[in-house]
Structure 1
């Protein structure tokens, strides 16, 4: 998928009806705090996430920083008639996105990655320490 000259991406058609019916065609583009991608949330999921994040104690400087990054810089977008949203120049610039990007479904949200970073990341696998950590965190989960 490509980001056009105006900073827009097309949301795949298979999601558009759902987004129109369930989320008033509204999406929220936010920075990811741990990865080199953007998170794109449908309206209901964003509002739930935002409420949880804002319920955390903002007396903690790290939490305040995360709230500022994720909520203070969120980009609210409504699907246009062609099913596109504007990612936002600040978001594109900060992430260093090239023209070619990958939109990855992650359950209740999407991740938007620069294709080169996604391809590089995809070549990596979990190391033994990470697999052990996952085993401890998810004892009833097999993979």
Structure 2
């Protein structure tokens, strides 16, 4: 599942998975989705249920006394919204308001929906364009030294 699509969200804060990704999710028998904060950028990560189960189990199993690990657990697990969707329908996904605020997403603007293989990213269109041209965002976190226990997890 790769590629970029510009989409909008509805007035209830929902987005419809773009058609080019729906068939792949159906083929994989996905019926749930997890939306959470990106730990590095003002964006959201969307994981199909099977991938979310793997990532969340790995994060839960890590030692929470390490402050970097604990911060990532709070950011990713503590902000997750897991929901089911109708695999035969439009695959509407609610983006909770706290997550929309974090990613600077509102219903009156286009958003960027990016297929990243086994997950998706959702960005405010202006922020996505800024990153694509090499511009920095005031809220991005680039200088994090990850403990070895986190280096094998594909966020």
TM-score class, shorter-chain normalisation, is 0.7 to 0.9
The counterpart of 1:119, out of the listed 116, 124, 129, is 129
Q: Matches of 1:26 and 1:107 in 2, distance apart? A: 17
CA drift at 1:90:
1.1
- Any stretches of 5+ residues in structure 2 without a counterpart? 1-6, 136-155
The answer for the alignment partner of 2:75 in structure 1 is 69
Pairing of 1:1-143 with structure 2 (within 5 A):
1-80=7-86, 81-98=89-106, 99-124=109-134
Q: Matches of 1:116 and 1:86 in 2, distance apart? A: 21
Asked if structure 1 preserves the Cα contact closer than 8 Å seen for 2:33 and 2:47, the reply is yes
CA drift at 1:23:
4.3
CA drift at 1:113:
0.5
Question: Cα RMSD (Å) of the superposition?
Answer: 1.6
TM-score (norm 2): 0.74
Post-superposition CA distance 1:93-114 (Å, at most 9, x none): 1222133100001111000000
CA drift at 1:29:
0.3
TM-score (norm 1): 0.79
Q: Matches of 1:69 and 1:94 in 2, distance apart? A: 11
Stretches (4+) displaced over 3 A = none
CA drift at 1:17:
3.1
Q: How many residues matched? A: 125
Q: Matches of 2:22 and 2:76 in 1, distance apart? A: 24
Larger relative contact order (CA 8 Å, sep ≥ 6): 2
CA drift at 1:73:
1.4
More helix by share: 1
